[in-house]
Amino acid sequence: IWEEYMQECTQKDNNKKNSGIWQLFLRTMRTMGKRRFMYYGSILGMSITFAMFSVMEAFLMKIVVDIAQKGEWDRLISSVVIIVITGVIVLLGYRFACIRYNVEAKRIYGKLYEQVLSHEMKLPCEYYENHHSGEMLSKVSFDLGRMGDIFVSRFRRVVMPFIMVVVFLVPMFALSWQLTLCLVAVNTVLIGVTMVLTGPLKSLSKKMSESNSIMTKHITDLIQGIIQVRMFPAGRKTVDRYNEEADVYAVKSDKRNMFSSLLECANTGFDLICNLVFLALGILFVQKGYTTLGAIAAIYTMYGRFSRQFLQMGKYIPELIAYLTYAQNIFDFLDEETEDKSKKLNKSDILNHKDINEDVVINEINNFCGHNTILNNADYSVKISDLTFSYIKDENNAPIVVLDNYNERIKSGEFVAVTGASGSGKTTLSKLLMGFYKPDSGMIEVCGNNLDDISLAAGRSFFALVPQDAILFNMSIMDNIRMGRLDATEAEIIKAAKMANAHQFIIEFTDGYDTVVGEKGMSVSGGQRQRIAIARAILKNAPIMLMDEATSALDNESERAVNETLQNLKGRMTIIMIAHRTSTIQMADRVIGL
C-alpha cells in the first residue's frame, strides 16, 4: 500500500497537491453559504460544553484530594453544589448545540442533492451522450453521500478534538504549566507521525470511488438490458465485467480497512506511551515540589481525554482528507459547462410588446399556439440560413461536418417530412432547432425570432417534441399528459387525448386516466405510449410539433392510429417529422431530403 502511494507521489507535485487539498476543503465548506457560521457555532458550543464536563470532574477530583490531605471537610458540600449547578447549565447548553448541529448538517445534506440535481438539468446534450448514466447515478448514490458525511460527521470529528484540547489546556496550564508543556510536546510528535502514515488513505478512497462508478455503469446496463443478458450468451460478459470490477473494489476496500486497522493499533500504542510519560513526569514533578498531588490527580483526570483528542485528530484528519476525494468528484461534475442561458428575449421582436417579462412572452407564445397564429406576422415557422455544424470525433480531433451551409424554409402550418440516410443529420437538425446543439455558423429563426437572440427556454417553448422512444414517467396517464402544461385543466387534458386518438383506449383501462403506466410507461403498448406522448405535445400548445421517427418502432395497427392523429393535426400547427416509412412520408405536404 505504501509503495503504491509513494509511486503516485513521485508523479505529482506534493506542494501543489497539499495546496489543492486546502483549497478543496475551503470550497467544500463554502457550499453551506451564510449558514456555515451557525454550523461552526454549534460545533464550537458542543466542543466547549462537552469538554467542560471533564474539566469539572477534574476540579472535583482536585478538591476531594486536597480536602482529604488537609482535612477541610466543610468545603466539600459547597464545592459540590457549585459544580452540580454549573454542570446542569453546561448540559442544557450542550443539548441545544447538538440540536442546532443536527439541523444544520441535515440542511446542507439536502442542499447538496438539490444543487447536483439542478446542475444535472442544465447540462448540455453532449454531456449525456458522452457519459454513462451509471456514472451520474454513482455520483448521487456514492460520492454525494460521502461528501454529505463530511458535514454530518467527518468535519465535526476533526474540529471538536482540536477545540476540546484548547479547552483542556487552560486549566492544565493553570495547575502545572511545566507538566502540561511536556505532555503537549510528546503528543504533537506522535500526531505528526500518525499524519505521515495516513497518506495512502486518500489514494485508496479515490480508487474505490472510481471502481464504484464503473460498477454502477455495469449494473445499470444489466438492469436496462436484462432480457438481452438472459437471451444472448454475450450478455454474460456484462455480468463478468461487473464481477471483475467488484473484485477490484473489494481489494481496494480491504487495503483501506487494513491500513486503517494498522493506524488504530498505532494510536493505541501511542496512547500507552503517553500515559507512561505522564506517570513518570507526574511523580518527578511532585517529588521536586513543582506541583501538588491534587493538581496531578486533576490533570490526570483531564489528560486521559486530552490525549484521546490528540489521537482522534491523528485518526480523523486523514479520513476527512480521504472524504474530500468524493467532494472533488462532485465539484468536477458541478464545474461541467452548462447550457448557455444568458440570452434574453428580443422583446421588441415578439408580438411588438415593450418592457415585458420573459415568462409573460413565453405564456403569450403558448396562448397563440395551436390557432395557426403567426408571431410577428412571420411567413415561416422555421428559417435556416447558411447553417454549418460539425462533430469532433475522429482520431485527430478533426471536425466531421454534418451540415454544411444548409438552407431551408418551412412555412407556418406546413407538414414536412425530413428523410435521409443514417448519419445524414436528421436528428442533429432537430437538436439544433431545440437548442441542444450550437451551430458552428449560420442562423436559425423560429416564428420570426433568431434563436441567438432569445433564451433557450424561450426558444424551446416554440416546440413540442415527440421522440422516437417516447418516455413516460411512473405516474398516472393524466399526470403524464399534464407535463405538457402544468396548469392545464382536466377538460383540456381529455381534449388533447381525443385529438391524439388516445382517449378511447385510456377510458378502457380500469382506472382510466388515473392508470399508472409504470417505469418508462412499460405497462402500456408502444402505440399507446406514443399517442400519450403526442397528447402531451398537443397540450403544450406550441406552434411547432417536432417528431423524431415517432412511428419507426410501431406495428402497423399502432402506426395507423398515430398517422390518423397526424392527419387531425395537419393545418393546426407546423409539423416537422423525421421519417423513413412511406406511409408517413406520403401524408406530408413536402419532403426534405438530407
Give CA–CA dist 381/543, Å, rounded: 8
Say if 131 falls within a structural domain: yes
Boundary (domain end) residue, out of 334, 349, 383: 334
Do 365 and 431 belong to one domain?
yes
Do 317 and 378 belong to one domain?
no
The enclosing domain of 114 has a CATH number of 1.20.1560.10
Do 265 and 330 belong to one domain?
yes
Give CA–CA dist 338/350, Å, rounded: 26
* Cell numbers given for 236: 454474460
The amino acid at residue 514 is D
* Host domain of residue 220: 20-334
pLDDT value at position 578? 87
Angle at 234 between CA 231 and CA 240, to 5 degrees: 110
DSSP element (H, E) containing 443: strand 441-446
SS3 447: coil
Say if 15 falls within a structural domain: no
Boundary (domain end) residue, out of 264, 299, 334: 334
Model-level pTM greater than 0.95?
no
Cβ–Cβ contacts within 10 Å for residue 391, how many?
Answer: 12
Do 486 and 373 belong to one domain?
yes
Do 392 and 314 belong to one domain?
no
* Cell numbers given for 574: 407546423
Say if 243 falls within a structural domain: yes
pLDDT value at position 135? 72
pLDDT value at position 211? 78
Residues in CB range of 102: below 8 A, 6 or more apart: none
The 10 Å CB-count burial string (b at 16+, else e) for 449-462 is: bbbebbbbebbbbb
Say if 340 falls within a structural domain: no
pLDDT value at position 255? 77
Do 384 and 243 belong to one domain?
no
Q: Is 144 exposed, middle or buried (0-12, 13-18, 19+ CB in 10 A)?
A: buried
Say if 274 falls within a structural domain: yes
Give bridge partners of residue 576 from the DSSP assignment: 416, 546
Do 292 and 398 belong to one domain?
no
pLDDT value at position 349? 38
Number of domains forming the structure of the chain: 2
Say if 282 falls within a structural domain: yes
Residue 516 φ then ψ, to 5°: -85, 125
pLDDT value at position 362? 43
Sheet holding 590-593, edge to edge: 463-466, 544-548, 574-578, 415-419, 590-593
Rounded-to-10 torsion of CA 205, 210, 216, 217: 180
Do 399 and 267 belong to one domain?
no
Do 118 and 197 belong to one domain?
yes
Say if 6 falls within a structural domain: no
Do 152 and 267 belong to one domain?
yes
pLDDT along the chain (594 residues), means of 10: 50 49 86 86 90 79 70 68 81 89 86 84 78 72 84 88 86 82 79 66 70 74 63 63 79 76 72 77 78 77 77 77 84 83 41 37 42 48 89 68 88 88 83 87 89 84 84 88 89 89 88 86 82 88 84 69 79 84 81 86
Q: Tell me the Ramachandran region of residue 235: left when phi exceeds 0, alpha when psi lies from -120 to 50, beta otherwise.
A: alpha
The enclosing domain of 569 has a CATH number of 3.40.50.300
Say if 352 falls within a structural domain: no
Angle at 582 between CA 576 and CA 584, to 5 degrees: 35
Do 113 and 209 belong to one domain?
yes
Do 153 and 98 belong to one domain?
yes
